[in-house]
Structure 1
Amino acid sequence: MKIGWIGLGKMGMPMSKRVAGGGHAIIAFARNGASAGKATAAGYTVAMSMAELAGACEVVISSIPDDAALHETVAAEGALASHLGRGQTYIDTSTVSPEASAEVARLLAAKGVTYLRAPVSGSTATAAAGALTTMVSGPRDGFERMVPLFETFTKVRLWLGESEQARFMKLAVNSTLAAMSPLLAEALAFTRKGGVSLADALEVYSKSAVATPLLEYKRATILEGKYDPAFEVSQMMKDLDIALSVGRQMHVPLPLASQVRQQYEAAYLHGKGERDIFVLVKEIAELAGVEEAS
Structure 2
Amino acid sequence: MAPTEKPTIGWIGTGRMGAALATRLLDAGYDLAVYNRTRSKAEPLAAKGATLVDRPVDLADRDVVFIMVSASRDLEAVTTGEGGVLTDPSVAPRIIVDSSTVSPETSAEIRAAAAARGSEFLATPVSGNPKVISSGKLTVAVSGPREAFDRVEPLLRALGRGVTYVGDGELARLVKIAHNVFLGVVIQSLVEVTVLAERGGVSRAVFLEFLNDSVMGSAYTRYKSPALVNLDFHATFTNVLLNKDIELGLAAGRQLGVPMPIASATGMLVAEAIGAGYTDEDFATLLLEQARRSGYQVVSENTPVDDGLAPETRS
TM-score under structure 1 normalisation?
Answer: 0.90
- Superposition pairs for residues 189-208 of structure 1, below 5 Å? 189-208=195-214
Identity fraction in percent: 31
Structure 1 residue 125 corresponds to structure 2 residue 131:
yes
| Aligned partners of 2:55 and 2:83 also within 8 Å | no
- 1:43 CA drift (Å): 4.2
Amino acid at match of 1:184: L
The 1:62/1:275 distance shift into structure 2, 3 A limit, reads: same
| Aligned partners of 2:234 and 2:282 also within 8 Å | yes
Task: Identify the structure with the greater helix proportion.
Answer: 1
- 1:33 CA drift (Å): 4.3
- 1:92 CA drift (Å): 0.9
- 1:252 CA drift (Å): 3.6
Q: Which residue of 1 aligns with 2:81?
A: 76
- Select which of 90, 94, 98 maps to 1:88: 94
Q: Which residue of 2 aligns with 1:160?
A: 166
- 1:134 CA drift (Å): 0.9
Supply the distance in 1 between the matched residues of 2:113 and 2:256 (Cα, whole angstroms): 23
Worse overlay, 273-282 or 257-266: 257-266
- Select which of 186, 194, 200 maps to 1:180: 186
- Select which of 95, 98, 112 maps to 1:106: 112
Amino acid at match of 2:248: I
Structure 2: runs of 5 or more not aligned: 1-6, 302-315
Number of equivalences: 293
- Superposition pairs for residues 1-150 of structure 1, below 5 Å? 1-55=7-61, 57-83=62-88, 85=91, 88-150=94-156
Amino acid at match of 1:238: K
The 1:33/1:207 distance shift into structure 2, 3 A limit, reads: closer
Q: Secondary structure at the match of 1:80?
A: coil
- 1:78 CA drift (Å): 4.2
- 1:266 CA drift (Å): 2.2
- 1:146 CA drift (Å): 0.8
Supply the distance in 1 between the matched residues of 2:240 and 2:75 (Cα, whole angstroms): 18
Supply the distance in 1 between the matched residues of 2:264 and 2:227 (Cα, whole angstroms): 26
| Aligned partners of 2:12 and 2:69 also within 8 Å | yes
Amino acid at match of 1:121: S
- 1:125 CA drift (Å): 1.4
Q: Which residue of 1 aligns with 2:312?
A: none
Q: Which residue of 1 aligns with 2:313?
A: none
- 1:42 CA drift (Å): 5.0
Task: Tell me which stretches of 4 or more aligned residues in structure 1 moved more than 6 Å.
Answer: none
- 1:121 CA drift (Å): 1.4
- 1:208 CA drift (Å): 2.6
- 1:293 CA drift (Å): 4.2
Supply the distance in 1 between the matched residues of 2:47 and 2:268 (Cα, whole angstroms): 40
- 1:39 CA drift (Å): 4.6
- 1:140 CA drift (Å): 0.9
Spell out, residue by residue over 1:224-273, the C-alpha distance to the aligned partner (whole angstroms, 9 max, x if none): 11111122222222322332333344444333323322222222233321
User: What is the alpha-carbon root mean square deviation over aligned residues?
Assistant: 2.2
| Aligned partners of 1:4 and 1:60 also within 8 Å | yes
Supply the distance in 2 between the matched residues of 1:87 and 1:193 (Cα, whole angstroms): 57
Supply the distance in 1 between the matched residues of 2:250 and 2:84 (Cα, whole angstroms): 29
Supply the distance in 1 between the matched residues of 2:119 and 2:261 (Cα, whole angstroms): 38
Q: Secondary structure at the match of 1:101?
A: helix
| Aligned partners of 1:282 and 1:292 also within 8 Å | no
Spell out, residue by residue over 1:51-77, the C-alpha distance to the aligned partner (whole angstroms, 9 max, x if none): 21223x211101222223222232435
- 1:14 CA drift (Å): 0.9
- 1:210 CA drift (Å): 1.6
TM-score under structure 2 normalisation?
Answer: 0.85
